[in-house]
Amino acid sequence: MIRLFTALEIPDAAAEKLTRLQQGLEGARWIERNDLHITLRFIGDVAENVAADIDAALALIPVTPFEVELEGVGEFGGARPNALWAGVKMSEPLRVLQGRHESAMRRVGLKPETRKFHPHVTVARLGRAAPEDVGRYIAANNLFAAPRFTIDRFTLFSAKGGTGGGPYLAERRYPEDEWEDGEG
């Protein structure tokens, strides 16, 4: 079994701005720079033969370059925050690309994603952070913004099982890479 998801990688200039956010919150487990990404579709644990079908379906998705803009910070979990994120401004090209990923995964036979697409970059896991501290952190950083960047490809990542947060391995980038292990 392999745990997979598709995502957009964060270029260095934007990642540098994101890593500057990663301080000043007691109990936060900050995400490593190389693991920062914008998830398009969480796939989950699949058998190797299903992973090959996923790869074939993803290879058919066209990518027209578009700009991405990061703005603001927030949390998931409400009264018990469990993740801190930097927001990604929704755009029609981003919505279309994510919809193509969802459609491709359904064609492969995966169940539909039940959560509404909320583009973001997770910057920390918050298992031990106090909710009031999270609120103060968000208030202090809510004007966060990073330079726009152009997206011209997406990536299929694998992840170690467990609670999330990496490390992640880029298995293939579309539309250009072959499988990292030489298969495919």
Catalytic residue among 120, 141, 156, 168: 120
Query: Structure tokens of 36?
Result: 């920062």
Can you name the residues that pair with 168 across neighbouring β-strands? 159
Query: Hey, how many other C-beta atoms are within 10 angstroms of the C-beta on 78?
Result: 8
Tell me whether residue 118 is one of the annotated catalytic residues.
no
Q: Do residues 149 and 33 touch, judged by C-beta distance below 8 A? A: no
Q: Do residues 100 and 175 touch, judged by C-beta distance below 8 A? A: no
Spatial strand order of the sheet with 168-174 comes to: 37-46, 2-9, 154-159, 168-174
Catalytic residue among 31, 35, 36, 37: 37
Tell me whether residue 101 is one of the annotated catalytic residues.
no
Q: Do residues 38 and 68 touch, judged by C-beta distance below 8 A? A: yes
What positions carry a catalytic annotation? Answer: 37, 120
